[in-house]
Amino acid sequence: MGIVLPVTSGRRGHKGVDLGINELSTVLWRERELLESLLFKLEEEELVLASGRARWVGRATREVEAVLDQIRGIELGRAVEADEAAREVGLAEGASLQDLAKAAPAPWNDLLRSHHVALTDITSQIGALADSNREVLVQSVRATQDALLGMIGTAAMNTVATNKAR
């Protein structure tokens, strides 16, 4: 799953850095796993939308929302661990992951940079796929509305024609 770094006794880790960075890395690995799951669920949703099987759209969307809820849940833990890691390396709370990577000692700096690159990449993929799915849904709604309006118009014309024939 990830790189495992040796931990010394007590609350201190590699080169005297507290374990907050280790905890942050653990949370970041979990977040990456959840984002991968979200990307997978969005791809499933895309396939369902492309198949035209409206029956499964609601389920696919609920599965996406369930993963999003899990991601929201882990974000608080990430913020707490990031603030702890920031204090350990002499940064203010709320420091960015990039700033943490710059301030952290080796090998944490490389690991935090790799987390940043991976998170940036996957969030970009998720954003593009979510936008694409949203556009397909909008087009489907428009097509459904047009079809219903066409049916209503045809039904109204048939009613008028029936009334004239009487």
Residue 71 lies in a domain: yes
Residue 6 lies in a domain: no
- pLDDT on residue 54: 82
**pTM of this prediction?**
0.76
Residue 122 lies in a domain: yes
- Quick: pLDDT tens for 41-76: 999 999 999 998 888 989 999 999 999 999 999 999
Q: How many CA atoms lie within 13 A of 143 on its CB side?
A: 8
- pLDDT on residue 154: 66
Read off the pLDDT band of 40 (50, 70, 90): very high
Number of domains making up the chain: 1
Residue 2 lies in a domain: no
Asked if residues 45 and 64 have their Cβ atoms less than 8 Å apart, the reply is: yes
Residue 50 lies in a domain: yes
Write out the two tokens for 44: 């499933």
Residue 116 lies in a domain: yes
Query: Which residue range(s) make up the domain with 94?
Result: 15-133
